[in-house]
Structure 1
């Protein structure tokens, strides 16, 4: 048994916000009360000065397994997630081979059974992520996927996109879309603007994102499918999502910590460590994302954890791959750049890291309740630390060396301190 005492419990589902003790027996929370006496044989966690919240849930990460395990694998990705306070993650399908078949899915699900946290998987929307032929979505759902995404690649064929939405609606499954029209992009990973001009590059304009967000927002209105717009980076895309919600679309959208924390100027300081798709954009875009988090236009904070090797990221800027790791810094960045400046409160941030991601993927997760599985994160919101190292195999982060608030103290998954 584990007793968490003296912590400030925040649970967005029940709106609990106050000091409560939590008793865990086996896999479940068995008691929540103002003062629970410790008895013999019970392990005590003194959470004084800390916030106790549901285990965090990431709906967008890349564990590179199978096919690219020099970057990350299921075990190291799960360990990295646990260090960041995550107890459930959902991996994207752009592995090698692509997760568009039962065999690859079974390999991942079998390996995930021995990971330190819950690792769930989406399948690709199209076969081979080629954007031309739909996967057998019904079969893949029965095999255990929790949703569908061609993340990493846009679906350019509108007929394929609408057919996928119609099937997903019937299956009650979410579709997550990577929105970048590559025909409009000269060099990916850098915004078409002031910094790209300094580097004599044309870059990736916001229109590349906006046009596909507009299309999929319109299709979501007509199909009534549940869709998710991944890693929003453009202020215009934010407005398109806001409009679609007003029009009745069942649409969610993600903000990543790097998009609400950084701008394109970080490339001058960090080089390819700040290269990501879609790119870091302007201060106007960053502020629009924060405003959209405030008014719930953007309901989810997702990491887009994308590990690469040091050798890959050491290449020339245009040759280096896009992406950065994010699981271990997501909560501290949310505290440092959203809560401490007064944009959002802890309840609002935790909601976007727990129960809202769970709802998108139809998961019975993201809350603390008696009789429910004990997935719990404990963090000190006022403790600063410097980002120096990671449990991920990778270290491709522009946040190395920065001081952040919000030190993770304990991650509990399925009733065990991990």
Structure 2
């Protein structure tokens, strides 16, 4: 194929928004303007669509190595492309945890959806001895996390922050105080009380974030709060930013629209961590994302096989898949125009990674998503190996029409 022309779309590049055409040859944007000649290129009609930088997910669980029946790198990349993502950060809670060789292999790949490995903060994510942070950094890791577990020992985390701060990396924390949250299955509140279930209190998240922010003051290390779910955490992040601390935060799509009343059904598809919180918490994280206190959307894509979720609620694993539905959910939950939408989905995650944001301009390698904000689609099937999605069977507004990296059209809706 000689190239592409993406025609008549609303092109978003940073603060610039204009209706125009894009020509792509050999994977590089060669023209941006109106009435571009076809010249043998394949034409993609992007009328009524936003065309901007591919989405980046800072929080993806690919399950490989160790749990390939849930997801593999390739099935995860296919799901990502269908959701408009051109890069995903793979969490290290695999079995065994991500090692140096895995990091090096993924960093070398240049085809299709980029898989950006994160590195564990502690050996085996045990929360005790620091991992080989310098070797992980040298191999290409920028984000360090024990995600799935919290680095609960303040002394260990302080040493990690001192070291990672010197390297220039980011500490990303899964904030769950193990003492306060032990045995919990859902948000601690009226629904858990009515069901007689042990709850996960909001303070279990907030106390970890509050402690960590004091350590950021001491160390100066860049710190990222994963999957913010409570109003209290939003307030803590806002105060930290006002004080000039190097703090960023993410929110998962499901926390923008669903609340703890869903779990009254005891359907394990609604079991996740952090748990679905109160309507007031939902309103707070929506406002946080709108205002920019919360920097970006991250899916926390957590695949589990049907047989694993088809058990009593208290026995089910926590997590939902989200790569293929995230853009639609964000589109429905927030009244974003194209600039804010692409900032939260594409540009802010790249800034957190320390990468240069991708511009839609002549000379840039094509890294694009075509998104129809007023389109509708029914979630009938998914490319992920696992289908533990609360949106399965639902009609969503906002359609990923195409995802492109270089000269590859990774996804095109039929």
The TM-score bracket by the shorter chain reads: over 0.9
CA contact (8 A) 2:118 2:142 kept: yes
Residue 366 and residue 259 in structure 1: after superposition, are their counterparts in 2 closer, same or farther (change >3 A)?
A: farther
Aligned to 1:83: 82
Write the distance in 1 (CA, Å) between the matches of 2:16 and 2:265.
42
Structure-to-structure mapping, 1:18-417, within 5 angstroms = 18-39=18-39, 41-99=40-98, 101-106=99-104, 113=109, 116-269=112-265, 271-339=267-335, 344-417=336-409
CA contact (8 A) 2:184 2:197 kept: no
Could you tell me how far 1:372 is from its partner in structure 2?
1.5
Write the distance in 1 (CA, Å) between the matches of 2:196 and 2:282.
23
Write the distance in 2 (CA, Å) between the matches of 1:92 and 1:254.
14
CA contact (8 A) 2:185 2:198 kept: no
Q: Deviations over 1:137-189 (max 9, x none)?
A: 11111112232111110001111111111112211111110000021124334
Could you tell me how far 1:294 is from its partner in structure 2?
1.5
SS at match of 1:245: helix
Write the distance in 2 (CA, Å) between the matches of 1:392 and 1:183.
34
Write the distance in 2 (CA, Å) between the matches of 1:116 and 1:123.
22
How many residues align? The count is 408
Write the distance in 1 (CA, Å) between the matches of 2:184 and 2:29.
46
SS at match of 1:354: helix
Write the distance in 1 (CA, Å) between the matches of 2:406 and 2:142.
19
Normalised by the length of structure 1, the TM-score is: 0.94
Write the distance in 1 (CA, Å) between the matches of 2:185 and 2:136.
32
The answer to which of 113-122 and 147-156 deviates more is 113-122
Write the distance in 2 (CA, Å) between the matches of 1:364 and 1:124.
24
CA contact (8 A) 1:98 1:128 kept: yes
Write the distance in 1 (CA, Å) between the matches of 2:290 and 2:318.
28
SS at match of 1:81: helix
Write the distance in 1 (CA, Å) between the matches of 2:148 and 2:284.
24
SS at match of 1:279: coil
Write the distance in 2 (CA, Å) between the matches of 1:216 and 1:152.
17
Normalised by the length of structure 2, the TM-score is: 0.95
Could you tell me how far 1:241 is from its partner in structure 2?
0.5
Write the distance in 2 (CA, Å) between the matches of 1:376 and 1:297.
26
Write the distance in 2 (CA, Å) between the matches of 1:126 and 1:151.
11
Could you tell me how far 1:104 is from its partner in structure 2?
4.1
Write the distance in 1 (CA, Å) between the matches of 2:357 and 2:77.
17
Structure 1 unaligned spans of 5+: none
CA RMSD of aligned residues (A): 1.5
Runs of 4+ residues deviating >4 angstroms: 106-110
Could you tell me how far 1:415 is from its partner in structure 2?
2.9
CA contact (8 A) 1:5 1:48 kept: yes
SS at match of 1:288: helix
Q: Deviations over 1:251-305 (max 9, x none)?
A: 0000110001100111234711011111010000000001111211001100000
Could you tell me how far 1:114 is from its partner in structure 2?
7.8
Write the distance in 1 (CA, Å) between the matches of 2:213 and 2:92.
23
Q: Deviations over 1:339-384 (max 9, x none)?
A: 2xxxx32311210110100010112344322211211000211111
